[in-house]
Structure 1
Amino acid sequence: MAEAAALDPPLPGEDVKPFTPEKAKEIVMCLQQPAVFCNMVFDWPVLYWNAKYLSEVLDGRTIRFRMGMKKRDAAPQFETKCSYVEATLEEFLAWTSGQPTCVSRPFSCYDSSKYWAYADYKYIARLFEDKTEIFKVNRLLYLQLRTMQDIMWSDFGFPGRNGKESTLWIGSAGANTPCHLDSYGCNLVLQIQGRKRWHLFPPSNTTFLYPTRIPYEESSIFSKVNVVNPDLKHYPRFTKAQAHVVTLNPGQVLFVPRHWWHYVESVDPITVSINSWIELDADHKARVEEAITRTLVCAIKSAENPSPVDAWLNPTEVEATSHEINLQYLNGAMSAYLEYQKVTVSEDRDLSTHDTEKEASSCKRRKMQVNPKPEDYKSGTHEAGITMVKAKKLEKIPFGVHLIPVLPQSQEASSVGAGAAESDSRDRLSKNEEGHFGKSCCTGKQSVMSNDCKTLAAQTDSDSTANSSQMAISTNDLLDCLVNPQVVSLVAGLLLERERV
């Protein structure tokens, strides 16, 4: 079985991890291209967290699954175009294995040959928060699970970071996340069961990926392009994009650097993975940019006549916030950034590494509070901790069998397996010796469609060129220009400069 590979004990002589926590952290904080860590998690208890095991542990607890179609349209299948099902993992497993509908009842309206299901963005601390009584009743289960301690990001140099700061993803074959970049932090992803294929694009490809903030979600910038079936007539610049493709196997950890675009798809019938977003110093300015974006998007879209076909708010966002609250958020983010600048202006950026990291939140998105206070930003309460590590640049990249670079698709095969790692490591290492190394918790997904037997919403292209309209320029067209990442970065710089004088 796919998950067995992750559970095999290390061979004699391989029970020592290739990188110390200090070295792993140094790599993570300096690496500027995606890479796969191997042989770093063989003793993590979380490797037993396959879907069957989780089904037994959660014992009938329902989870929200996002349902999408397996057919490949030219437009991305955004979350606003999906339907949602509340089901247990037991019912999910019955559905994926083709058992009778009486066993997989919540999925009875969906043909597993045509649809995929994805339980994504499940914050582990929240998922297990109601299991206290089970722990009290079954001491053995409690000791075996120890939910938070089963995940040991301390091996990557982040002491105290465990399941509390991690997110769980469970999907069927074809389940995918639309191509996007995360505004905050960098990303560590551990594959537990099955395989996932990652299509990654460097930040320099942003223009080629036609960025959009519709659907709007704080901290996620989506691409209008379906990168696995691109519509080159409407998005001709995509031909210049340089994809880095890798298939992540159980037991491997993928590092996704800051602002790298990524499209992720489940390859095998069932996949399970966990991840943790690592906060970075650069997030201070990113939060100012996100606040500007939110203020503009909410103001302009809220002023539009409501349309049932224009689902502009992603299901991860509960509601559009008022202009007053958004301005409070903006001012708080700016105050935090300016305070950070004062603290760090005298530091020698080329020297020591600060090994202290404030406690970090489990969520990727740092949602704004209803009444945020400037001191919340300054103290780190609102941002839930910023990584203060300033690791010096590594003189030599330690690429090899234990750290495999994800190279452009034209340069390297797309699968990183144990065999590939062994056979290609020397060549990869020699080729890269002179290179360089370089998210308040969100609420659960809310349903945007009625949970019945209706077909999924029609797949419509979010680009105005594919939608007929009486107006030559739509509100979304205007927003694509106003909140283009480059424009927002410039506006943030101008606002911050005003506050400095």
Structure 2
Amino acid sequence: MADADPIFFAAIPSVVEREAATPEALDTLLRGCRSPFVIRGLVADWPMVQTGLRAPREVRQYLIERARDVPFAVSVGQPGHNGRMFYDAAMDMNFRTARGKLTDIFGGIDANEGRRDPPSVYLASIDVPTHFVGIEQENPLDLGSREPLVSLWIGTPTRIAAHNDFPDNLACCVAGARRFTLFPPEQFRNLYLGPIDNTPAGRAVSMVDFHAPDFDRYPRFADALAKAQLAELQPGDALFIPSMWWHHVEGLAPFNILLNYWWRDTPRYLGQPQDALNHAILAIRDLPAEDKAIWRDMFAHYVFESGPAVAAHIPENARGVLDPLTAETAGRLRAFLLRTLSR
């Protein structure tokens, strides 16, 4: 099929736009929200955004001047893939990963500037405090009592397959332009996810090429598109992506920077649901159907329903992990799981 950009995206409705003139207004929008929204110009006054508007090389120099003397992880895709960081025909990655100094990585981008089909360069989820000095202080955003992870995503034109993340996500376009195609959490069946143990970046991704969707091979993708929303960000704009929403991400300009905030409203001592899914595949999925039915009922009782009746018959001082978890009981449970998994 021919490349479908931009006609393919034209029929997808836009993500709703909101306004937040104060930190309190932003906090109100974010609190308990389960739908995406865009705030135009939320971080337009950041020095990093203003520098990027002058010239890509200037914002690269801005980052170099604040970079710590630590290696940066970078993914490099060979020409011919139109920036799609994905699998190759053998289901290996079509890009290589390396580590290097930010000055050298940016030097490679400078050297390829203006080439017709340069290699794709992508620095993904770069933890800001461990890689830079002063970025957060010079480019602040008041998120109230939240304690987010702050990451930078830097690169040439790229296409990142649809995936989801467990934390809530506020993604701020710093330089260039980004296009997000979003789908509600329940659309995972219609996105035709790839392996969960062989992924480009730790999360299962859609196998559908959004620029050339093969509806004969992936017919239910049409149902996913019926629920899709589109957000195109310019420098200074921000997009809120709720937990577990699927998002296909494209860097559209010759050079792009995104800064995002990840946080979860649940305590940090709780585990990762993906780990539980992996363990269930290991321990339950391949059991006989009768046994799986029993365990499905047990999971409903202890996990998904988990009402007061589950432990009401047990003395209060002996309910252990059947009571709401605390840092102490979560720690004991994690230690128990580590011991059992290491056998």
Corresponding residue for residue 56 of structure 1: 65
> After the TM superposition, which of the residue ranges 43-52 and 19-28 deviates more from structure 2?
43-52
Once the two structures are superposed, the pairs formed by residues 393-472 of structure 1 within 5 Å of their partners are none
- Kept in 2: contact 1:76–1:225 (CA 8 A): no
- Write the letter of the residue equivalent to 2:188: T
**Map of 1:176 onto structure 2:** 159
* Other-structure match for 1:244: 229
Identity %: 23
Match of 1:120 in 2: 124
Task: Decide which of 70, 87, 92 is 2:105's aligned counterpart.
Answer: 92
- Measured at CA, do residues 261 and 52 of structure 1 come closer, stay the same or move farther in structure 2, by a change above 3 Å? same
**8 Å contact from structure 2 (residues 79, 118) kept in 1:** yes
Moved over 4 A (4+): 216-219, 281-285, 296-300, 380-383
Cα deviation, 1:41-62, whole Å, max 9, x if unaligned, reads 2444553583221123227653
Gaps of 5+ in 2: 1-18, 53-58, 285-301, 309-319, 332-343
Deviation at 1:177, TM superposition (A): 2.3
> Which residues of 2 match residues 314-463 of structure 1 at below 5 A?
378-379=326-327
1:50-199 correspondence runs (5 A): 50-58=59-67, 61-69=70-78, 71-72=80-81, 77-78=86-87, 80-81=92-93, 82-98=95-111, 113-128=117-132, 146-154=134-142, 157-159=143-145, 161=147, 165-173=149-157, 175-182=158-165, 184-199=166-181
The answer as to whether partners of 1:31 and 1:257 remain within 8 angstroms in 2 is yes
Would the alpha carbon gap of residues 197 and 381 (structure 1) be closer, same or farther in structure 2, given more than 3 Å must change? farther
Count, aligned residues: 270
Which residue of the other structure, out of 32, 35, 43, is the alignment partner of 2:34? Answer: 32
| Shift in alpha-carbon separation, 1:27–1:293, aligned structure 2, 3 A | same
Deviation at 1:298, TM superposition (A): 6.0
1:194 Cα deviation (Å)?
Answer: 1.0
Checking the alignment, whether the CA contact within 8 Å between 1:121 and 1:167 is kept in structure 2 is yes
Equivalent residue, structure 2, for 1:464:
none
SS of residue matched to 1:96: helix
Task: Give 1:230's aligned amino acid.
Answer: P
Give yes or no for the alignment of 1:264 onto 2:249: yes
2-side partners of 1:224 and 1:158: how far apart? 38
Aligned partners of 2:251 and 2:329: how far apart in 1? 35
CA distance in 2, matches of 1:224, 1:88: 32
SS at match of 2:196: strand
Q: 1:14-29 counterparts in 2 under 5 A?
A: 18-29=20-31
Q: Which has the higher strand share?
A: 2
Contact 2:85 2:160 in 1 (8 A): no
Query: How far apart are residue 76 of structure 1 and its match?
Result: 7.1
| Equivalent pair of 2:168/2:263 in contact (CA under 8 Å) | yes
Which residue of structure 2 lines up, in the alignment, with residue 456 of structure 1? none
Please state how far the C-alpha of 1:36 moved relative to its aligned partner: 1.3
Checking the alignment, whether the CA contact within 8 Å between 2:161 and 2:207 is kept in structure 1 is: no
How far apart, CA to CA, are the structure 2 residues paired with 1:380 and 1:118? 40
Q: CA distance change for structure 1 residues 200 and 86 in 2, over 3 Å: closer, same or farther?
A: same
| Contact 1:152-1:161 at 8 Å conserved across structures | no
Residue pair 2:147, 2:263 contacting (<8 A) in 1 also: no
Q: In the superposition, relative to structure 1, how do residues 261 and 69 fare at CA in structure 2: closer, same or farther (>3 Å)?
A: farther
**8 Å Cα contact 2:36-2:240 kept in structure 1:** yes
- Mapped partners of 1:224, 1:239: distance in 2: 14
Task: Return the TM-score normalized by structure 2.
Answer: 0.64
Asked whether the equivalents of residues 76 and 224 of structure 1 are also in contact (C-alpha less than 8 Å), the reply is no
Q: Which secondary structure state, in structure 2, belongs to the residue aligned with residue 293 of structure 1?
A: helix
Matched position secondary structure for 1:97: helix
CA distance in 2, matches of 1:86, 1:283: 29
Per the alignment, residue 313 of structure 1 pairs with none
In 1, the alpha carbon distance for the partners of 2:250 and 2:45 equals 26
Shift of 1:210: 1.6
Matched with 1:206 is: 188
Superposition deviation, residue 25 in structure 1: 1.6
Asked whether the equivalents of residues 179 and 226 of structure 1 are also in contact (C-alpha less than 8 Å), the reply is: no
Q: Indicate yes or no: 2:214 matched with 1:231.
A: yes
TM-score by length of 1: 0.46
- Which ranges of structure 1 fall in alignment gaps of 5 or more residues? 1-16, 101-110, 129-144, 301-333, 343-372, 384-501
SS of equivalent residue, structure 1 residue 176: strand
1:461 matched residue in structure 2: none
1:293 paired to 2:277: yes
In structure 1, how many angstroms separate the alpha carbons of the residues matched to 2:151 and 2:69?
A: 20
| Counterpart position of 2:340 | none
C-alpha change, 1:76 and 1:268, in structure 2 (3 Å) is closer
Aligned-partner Cα distance in 2 for 1:127–1:288: 25
Q: Take 2:181 and 2:47, find their aligned partners in 1: how far apart are those partners?
A: 28
Distance change >3 Å, CA 256–CA 280, structure 1 → 2: same
Q: Is the 8 A contact 2:46 2:138 kept in 1?
A: yes
How many angstroms apart in 2 are the aligned matches of 1:378 and 1:282? 9
State the 1:288 CA deviation.
6.6
Amino acid at match of 2:260: N
In the TM superposition, residue 220 of structure 1 has moved relative to its aligned partner by: 2.8
